[in-house]
Structure 1
Amino acid sequence: MTRAAEMLDTTPAHFDLDRDALAEAIAACVECAQTCTACADACLSESDVAAMVACIRLDLDCADVCTATSRVLSRQTAYDAQVTRAVLEACATACRRCGDECSTHGDAGMEHCRVCAEACRRCERACRALLDAAS
């Protein structure tokens, strides 16, 4: 059981979202934020940093959006469905864009980008699954 799931189990607040989908989305967002931050840092160590500027930017944008999303999803007291849907859409979009960029570098042999693309894909799927469950 993830810490996110454990916290959801302990909250006295009632929430209308699928608990498992919510816990998975929170965990995926936290993991993706960390992975994207580490990927951006690894990109700065590449020999041609100038070629990595778009990747670094998308990594950092994705990390920030994932962090914000995990925080919004973690707050279920006085839940606002419109805000939740908006952050989930933004997160899925950021993850798709970052995952696409990192995939190109991962296919070229940059392992940090391959790992990051996988984390982005997982997070995008988790956000979309939660959106579907909330519909």
Structure 2
Amino acid sequence: MTQTTSQQELFQFLEDRFACAQACTECARACALRASLVDPDGTEEQELVRRKGIMCAEVCDATCRVLSEQNGLDEHGIRVQLEWCRSVCLECAQIFDRHPGAEDSAKACRECARACSDFIATLA
């Protein structure tokens, strides 16, 4: 944000940041739940679902922390974190799409990816 940023732009930035953090939290919750439902002694594909769900939950959790804290991360660092989160969420959604019963988790992943994209758009 530049010094010439209007108050309205600042509010929009903060709203987008909060929406993204909230989407990350929902995605992390859905992915962790999905991962816990997969049989750890199941097939290789089930193991992939479990691993991706855990990884997505961890990335979303880390992204939420970055967005929620004033940790001194610059705009470039925030952008990199958001890009990573968006990428992992889209990957995870594609994997969940192949498994009946994982529709809600796939939807949460896509919503999080969209929120990350929307927030990235405000970082110009």
Same fold (TM over 0.5): yes
Q: Distance in 2 between matches of 1:64 and 1:130?
A: 19
Work out which of the residue numbers 78, 103, 124 in structure 2 matches 1:114.
103
Work out which of the residue numbers 56, 77, 80 in structure 2 matches 1:83.
77
C-alpha deviation, 1:82, in angstroms: 1.3
C-alpha deviation, 1:76, in angstroms: 3.3
Q: Distance in 1 between matches of 2:19 and 2:86?
A: 14
Q: How does 1:49-60 map to 2 (within 5 A)?
A: 49-50=42-43, 51-60=45-54
C-alpha deviation, 1:78, in angstroms: 3.6
Q: Distance in 1 between matches of 2:121 and 2:88?
A: 18
What letter matches 1:52 in structure 2? Q
Once the two structures are aligned, what percentage of the paired residues are identical? 32
Name the SS of the counterpart of 2:31 in structure 1. helix
Which runs of 5 or more residues in structure 1 are unaligned? 1-14
Q: State the match for 1:64 in structure 2.
A: 58
Q: Over aligned residues, Cα RMSD in angstroms?
A: 1.9
What letter matches 2:112 in structure 1? C
Work out which of the residue numbers 36, 39, 43 in structure 2 matches 1:44.
39
Which runs of 5 or more residues in structure 2 are unaligned? 1-9
Moved over 4 A (4+): none
What letter matches 2:107 in structure 1? E
Q: Distance in 1 between matches of 2:49 and 2:12?
A: 33
Q: What whole-Å deviation, never above 9, does each CA across 1:24-48 have from its counterpart, x for those lacking one?
A: 1000001111110000011228xx8
C-alpha deviation, 1:79, in angstroms: 4.7
Q: What whole-Å deviation, never above 9, does each CA across 1:96-127 have from its counterpart, x for those lacking one?
A: 0000000111xxxx22x111000000000000
Answer yes or no: is the 8 Å Cα contact 1:30–1:70 preserved in 2.
Answer: yes
> Taking structure 2 as the reference length, what is the TM-score of the superposition?
0.84
Q: Distance in 2 between matches of 1:76 and 1:132?
A: 20
Residue correspondences, number: 114
Q: State the match for 1:21 in structure 2.
A: 16
